[in-house]
Structure 1
Amino acid sequence: MPVERSTGEPADRSTAVPTASGARRPVQPVATLLGVLGLGLCLVLSLDVVSAAVALALELALAPLLRVPVRRLLLVASPVLLAVPLTGVSIALYGRASGREWFDLGFAHVTDGSLELALATMLRVLAVGLPSVALFVRVDPTDLADGLAQVLRLPARFVLGALAAIRMTTLLGQDWRQLGMARRARGLGDGPRLRRGASMAFALLVIALRRATTLAVAMESRGFGAPGRRTWARAAPFGGREWGMVALLVGIGLVSIAVSVAAGTWRA
């Protein structure tokens, strides 16, 4: 049974490239996934400031090519931006002690070594997290599922189940609003906020479980769990454009390593 493909234009216009026929298609998200993993692997090999700073500078220089509005990018990257200072503070207080000591609180101490390690960690979190967010902000989950199943050869049952779950996740906000309006219509929306929220969360869980059961039965009845070779509604190409995306992201990591080694800050 072929997998149904959502209609409309490609969701990832930032990486869309012209084809031979003049049409435009997005770069397969699996290439972006592999590239980001390769970049992250290069950056975790050493905890120094130079390699992370070089990688982050190259990423910021290439960011305008994505054509993602700055406001939207900052919004979706807010979890990463919030995690950076928290990570830096924890590393500065409890990181490896070396060099001059600034102050000691007994359970925590700050030294030159812990501050340098905190700075390197914060830059590394930004260097790995920002491209992940920026490149996946417009990715269509269906395109990613096609690539995972056809390119990486992951089990179709697992891929389709995950895709269905992601699609259903978008309904949680709508269900929450409908629950709130229904409770207010019945006169149940004036109680304590914490108690009301807990009650609505339990009701939302019940709705999600019922919907998951119905979806599972519907998918099984349409042959999604049948053994044998599965056909797909649309091919997931992995050609020169995809290899170029992987090479670009991995290249950023290799350049950062080369600069760090040349500067003498590389620590294997």
Structure 2
Amino acid sequence: MTLLESHARTGSFARINPVAKLGASALIALPLILTLDWVSAAVALGLECALFPFASIGWREFWLRTWPVWLAAPLTGLTIALYGETSGHVYAEWFVVRISEGSLTLAVATFFRVLAIALPSVVLFVTVDPTDLADGLAQVLKLPARFVLGALAGLRMVGLFLDDWRALELARRARGVADRGRIRRFLGMAFALLVLSIRRGSKLATAMEARGFGSPVPRTWARASHFGGREWVLLAIGAAISGVAVTAAVLAGTWNFILGPS
């Protein structure tokens, strides 16, 4: 059992239905996607940071899980600052690089926007077990069982792909063919892994079909997926964060609906 799977079964927050976590992250992200201003994103990020300590995640694990987000946010903001839409006073200009008042404003908004959208998604799904998510999607959202179970089986194969890659690397090294030509070695291993994956996928599909996974008859589930008070509270928190962020942007006059007329 992996660290993610073992952590997903502990703590009250981890026992919340994954569908509610998916819905809460969507409620937070939707208004931030529809606008590009720094006030709404900053307010949403501040509220999220105040709630992160209640997510039953240690700070060490939090930083290990979210460091790609903290790396991507400033890089995205830097790109917008250098190549974003020019407006207002131009501070610097060289070739295709043009730093202006408008591009810096967009850069700040983009920085907070990436953090406000990505961080809660990572935190909410750290404690999600793939099987629990599949149960919730099929039983709560009533998605087709064949689609859900097929996606779950594919997700479970990711760990095997990593093991196969390591085994192929060790086998080629033992045969003395892994000492030179990194690009050629990578392409050869990738093709071998592709062939192995196709064979394993065909066998898995045949086995699942033989066990009745493709039957049109409504199936039963080993574990019931419950959606109760804790789930509705989490959805309400997500909606509240979005509402406060949007209200703050409107009152500050920075609301910038990106789908509106230019």
TM-score, normalisation: structure 1: 0.88
RMSD, aligned CA: 1.9
- Select the structure that is richer in helix: 2
What is the alpha-carbon distance in structure 2 between the residues aligned to residue 185 and residue 128 of structure 1? Answer: 46
What amino acid does structure 1 have at the position aligned with 2:10? R
Between the aligned residues of both structures, percent identity stands at 55
Partner of 2:253: 264
- The answer to whether the aligner puts 1:199 opposite 2:188 as a matched pair is yes
Partner of 1:150: 139
**Gaps (5+ residues) in structure 2?**
258-262
What is the alpha-carbon distance in structure 2 between the residues aligned to residue 135 and residue 159 of structure 1? Answer: 20
Superposed displacement of residue 230, structure 1: 1.5
- The answer to whether the aligner puts 1:87 opposite 2:76 as a matched pair is yes
Which has the higher mean CA deviation after the structures are superposed, 30-39 or 98-107? 98-107
How has the CA–CA distance of structure 1 residues 82 and 12 changed in structure 2, closer, same or farther, with 3 Å as cutoff?
A: farther
What is the alpha-carbon distance in structure 2 between the residues aligned to residue 191 and residue 142 of structure 1? Answer: 42
Partner of 1:167: 156
Superposed displacement of residue 9, structure 1: 6.5
Residues 10 and 26, structure 1, Cα contact 8 Å, conserved in 2: no
- What secondary structure, in the 3-state scheme, does the structure 2 residue paired with 1:170 have? helix
Partner of 1:4: none
Residues 51 and 257, structure 1, Cα contact 8 Å, conserved in 2: yes
What is the alpha-carbon distance in structure 1 between the residues aligned to residue 60 and residue 152 of structure 2? Answer: 28
Partner of 1:38: 27
Partner of 1:183: 172
- The answer to whether the aligner puts 1:127 opposite 2:124 as a matched pair is no
Partner of 1:219: 208
Query: Can you list the C-alpha shifts for 1:114-139, whole angstroms capped at 9, x where unaligned?
Result: 10111101101100100101110121
- What secondary structure, in the 3-state scheme, does the structure 1 residue paired with 2:254 have? coil
- The answer to whether the aligner puts 1:104 opposite 2:93 as a matched pair is yes
**Gaps (5+ residues) in structure 1?**
1-7, 18-24
Structure 1 ranges of 4+ moved more than 4 A:
none
Which has the higher mean CA deviation after the structures are superposed, 177-186 or 26-35? 177-186
What is the alpha-carbon distance in structure 1 between the residues aligned to residue 42 and residue 113 of structure 2? Answer: 8
Partner of 1:234: 223
Partner of 1:209: 198
- What secondary structure, in the 3-state scheme, does the structure 2 residue paired with 1:232 have? coil
Superposed displacement of residue 172, structure 1: 1.6
What is the alpha-carbon distance in structure 2 between the residues aligned to residue 219 and residue 106 of structure 1? Answer: 58
Aligned residue-pair number:
253
TM-score, normalisation: structure 2: 0.90
